[in-house]
Structure 1
Amino acid sequence: MKSQTGIYWLAQFIGWFSYSMIIFLVLYIDNKLTRNGIILLFLFSVLGILFSHGMRWVFRRFDFFRFKLNPLIPRLLLVALVSSILFQGTYALLSLVISRSKAPDSILEIIVEILLIMFLFLIWILFYFSYHYVRKSRLEEIKNLQLADSQKEIELQNLRTQLNPHFLFNALNSIRALIDLEPKLAKDSVTKLSNILRTSLLFGRKELITLEEECNFVRDYLDLEKVRFEERLQVEWMINTQLLGETIPPLILQTLVENAIKHGISNLKAGGVIKISAENTGRELVLTVRNSGTIQNKVDVGVGIQNTKRRLALTYGDKADFTLREADNMVVAEIRLKKET
């Protein structure tokens, strides 16, 4: 606020004294400059600052900024006209006192002088309102961006919290099948599930984690799922170790793996294989999860996939791409993250 006030007063002094300086140079060139003329030019600038500041007070006091263009224009013209008449009357009185100058010879001369001052005031009003509306537009834009960021963060948080119940449901089903058959293994699985849930809760508070952290979590998850599927679930890892420090949204790979098991492996009597890979193409980080099976003939292939698409859009915008397709008798879920250049 202090900075804006300083800019306002600086603009006031520069504007009015620059105009007076132009008149000063014209009179000097024409050899018409006198000591009283210099004093009157100085007073002209001072009056210009005082009366324009008075117009500003009127604009703010009666909130002219709330009006649209059509009702605003006549109000501005009226304020400019009244200010011009008062200005010209005050300046004429000062001229009479200082330089003993005579009054204007005709009404027409008075009108011309008032219109000249009014023209200067209208220019001042144009600059003042232009600055105000540009600043208001910028503040509104910043406000909208902040609101969009806030809404984005809320939606991302909601999407991340949706992952835990979905994962928990599947994991508990795996453990339930072990309780009667292999109690010790069920106990160990509960311990592992506890560790997984603790990690997932920590991940849920972060926007990005390293690829290494995500891979470790997915390994624990798959170890738990192997208890249920046994030899029906085979896993192959093809991760470039140089990429382990890359950052990605938490549980993004786990969601694809979980979807591959739910919609792929679990529907195959003989089971199948899941292949997880990460590679750097130079311009993109490519994360791929392949699984045995086919894409089901329906638009919605799972909450996890829709969740993944939305999270990528919110986090990366158009710098992320997700595809789900069939290739070589496998379902391929692929995430491409463009690198910053």
Structure 2
Amino acid sequence: MAFSYWAGSNELQLKAWQVVLDFSVVILLSIFFTHQLKRLLNKCIQFDAIRLKHLFISLGFLLTTTVLFYLVYEVYIELIYTYVYNRTDVLEHTSQGLKNNMIFILNYFIYFTIWTVFYVAIKGLMELNNSREIRLKLESNLKESQLNTLKGQINPHFMFNSLNNIRGLMLEDVPRARNMLTSLSETLRYSLTKSNVDAIALEDELDMVRNFIAISKIQLEDRLIFKEDIDKASLTKLIPPMIIQMLIENAIKHGISSLKEGGLIVLSTLIKDSQLQIKVTNTGTIRTGHKSTQLGLENIKQRLALLYGEKATFNLQEIEHKVIASINIPIV
């Protein structure tokens, strides 16, 4: 450990190149161990929600890092001074005693502590700022989703067709007309009240979807066939609001309604490998040139990215005249 002492008066009479080599090794070891310390901190500490337990974890990492640094440097000293410098006398020098070794360890413990404090402080501020930006983007995205949904449901054409068909039903089937009015009311209420939250139970979203299907069937009648294949275990799992409804709406607007003979929409859910799998399959083809379709799908991708990062996936594909939209999200 001659490095701790030659900096003052070079009482060990080291050559210039030996001083440079020792200094370089210390610098490289410091960089290496602080990098490993950073990896451990990133893995075990939530910088945007630091708790008391994280303090004890950090102290454990600091002690471990300091001891390992000391041991590695001791091995370096033994090898380099014995086989390269041919200065075994240095190993017996009074500067290598227990007291100076403890001072060396304490100095580097303080160094690693100061480095850790600065790193955690800077990283914590960056994480808080990043979380704030994500929340703002998510709020903006959810508002955009709400507006897009309301535009699709409260536009004059939609309202006129729905109310006009319900009026016709009143002359033929009053109970059904009453149910359709209830479905229309529940659909609008859901859009206004549920779209400002991050997550809802899947069974609540299904109620919304069924109301939307019921309203759509007034116009499409037998041209629209809707089936469900729902895993019961998935009913209580949390999902982003209106995300299934947007897939269903997309399947109807750009799939079923454009087919003269109509078609089938199948909604299925499945829990597999700690993931909730949601799939909407409809008769038709992918219409990449339709601007509104792309905006709706892009909205879904952005919301999943903001809420789950890389843990969630969205995929749209066409197989044998069927469009399949698949969403995988982690179970919270």
Q: TM-score range by the shorter chain?
A: 0.5 to 0.7
Q: Distance in 1 between matches of 2:182 and 2:308?
A: 35
- Asked whether the 8 Å contact 2:237–2:331 carries over to 1, the reply is no
- 1:231 Cα deviation after fit: 0.6
Task: Indicate how the Cα distance of structure 1 residues 182 and 132 shifts in structure 2: closer, same or farther if over 3 A, else same.
Answer: closer
Amino acid at match of 1:324: L
Alignment counterpart, residue 313 of structure 1, candidates 305, 322, 326? 305
Q: Distance in 2 between matches of 1:172 and 1:283?
A: 40
Whether 1:148 and 2:139 are equivalent positions in the alignment is: no
Q: Which residue of 2 aligns with 1:175?
A: 162
Deviation string 1:100-128 (CA, Å, 9 cap, x unpaired) is xxxxxxxxxxxxxxxxxxxxxxxxxx999
Q: Which residue of 2 aligns with 1:326?
A: 318
Alignment counterpart, residue 296 of structure 2, candidates 304, 307, 311? 304
- Asked whether the 8 Å contact 1:156–1:314 carries over to 2, the reply is no
- 1:192 Cα deviation after fit: 2.5
Whether 1:209 and 2:200 are equivalent positions in the alignment is: yes
Q: Which residue of 2 aligns with 1:165?
A: 151
- Asked whether the 8 Å contact 1:325–1:332 carries over to 2, the reply is yes
Q: Which runs of 5+ in 1 are unaligned?
A: 1-125
- Asked whether the 8 Å contact 1:175–1:186 carries over to 2, the reply is no
- 1:182 Cα deviation after fit: 4.0
Task: Indicate how the Cα distance of structure 1 residues 219 and 127 shifts in structure 2: closer, same or farther if over 3 A, else same.
Answer: closer
Task: Indicate how the Cα distance of structure 1 residues 329 and 142 shifts in structure 2: closer, same or farther if over 3 A, else same.
Answer: closer
- Asked whether the 8 Å contact 2:250–2:296 carries over to 1, the reply is yes
- Asked whether the 8 Å contact 1:171–1:225 carries over to 2, the reply is no
- 1:177 Cα deviation after fit: 4.3
Task: Indicate how the Cα distance of structure 1 residues 296 and 130 shifts in structure 2: closer, same or farther if over 3 A, else same.
Answer: closer
| Matched pairs, number | 216
Amino acid at match of 1:172: M
Q: Give the CA RMSD over aligned residues.
A: 2.9
Give the secondary structure class of the aligned counterpart of 2:315. Answer: strand
Deviation string 1:264-297 (CA, Å, 9 cap, x unpaired) is 0010001111011001222321101111111114
- 1:211 Cα deviation after fit: 1.0
Amino acid at match of 2:284: G
Give the secondary structure class of the aligned counterpart of 1:286. Answer: strand
Q: Distance in 2 between matches of 1:216 and 1:321?
A: 24
Q: Distance in 1 between matches of 2:294 and 2:217?
A: 21
Task: Indicate how the Cα distance of structure 1 residues 329 and 235 shifts in structure 2: closer, same or farther if over 3 A, else same.
Answer: same
What are the within-5 Å matches in structure 2 for residues 62-73 of structure 1?
none
Q: Distance in 2 between matches of 1:161 and 1:193?
A: 16
Give the secondary structure class of the aligned counterpart of 2:257. Answer: helix
Amino acid at match of 2:129: N
- Asked whether the 8 Å contact 1:283–1:339 carries over to 2, the reply is yes
- 1:181 Cα deviation after fit: 4.0
Deviation string 1:237-262 (CA, Å, 9 cap, x unpaired) is 11111211111111111100000000
Q: Which residue of 2 aligns with 1:270?
A: 261
Amino acid at match of 1:251: M
Task: Indicate how the Cα distance of structure 1 residues 225 and 145 shifts in structure 2: closer, same or farther if over 3 A, else same.
Answer: same
What are the within-5 Å matches in structure 2 for residues 46-195 of structure 1?
134=119, 137-138=122-123, 140-162=125-147, 163-169=149-155, 171-178=158-165, 181-183=168-170, 189-195=180-186
Q: Distance in 2 between matches of 1:173 and 1:180?
A: 10
Q: Distance in 2 between matches of 1:253 and 1:127?
A: 50
Considering Cα pairs closer than 8 Å and 6+ residues apart, tell me whether 1 or 2 has the greater RCO. 2
- 1:200 Cα deviation after fit: 2.3
Give the secondary structure class of the aligned counterpart of 1:278. Answer: strand
Deviation string 1:176-229 (CA, Å, 9 cap, x unpaired) is 542664455666534421122112222112211111111111011101111010
- Asked whether the 8 Å contact 1:288–1:333 carries over to 2, the reply is yes
Q: Distance in 1 between matches of 2:115 and 2:272?
A: 49
Q: Which residue of 2 aligns with 1:78?
A: none
Give the secondary structure class of the aligned counterpart of 2:165. Answer: coil
Amino acid at match of 1:168: I
Task: Indicate how the Cα distance of structure 1 residues 127 and 305 shifts in structure 2: closer, same or farther if over 3 A, else same.
Answer: closer
Q: Which residue of 2 aligns with 1:285?
A: 276
Q: Distance in 2 between matches of 1:305 and 1:212?
A: 22
Deviation string 1:31-60 (CA, Å, 9 cap, x unpaired) is xxxxxxxxxxxxxxxxxxxxxxxxxxxxxx
Q: Distance in 2 between matches of 1:171 and 1:148?
A: 36
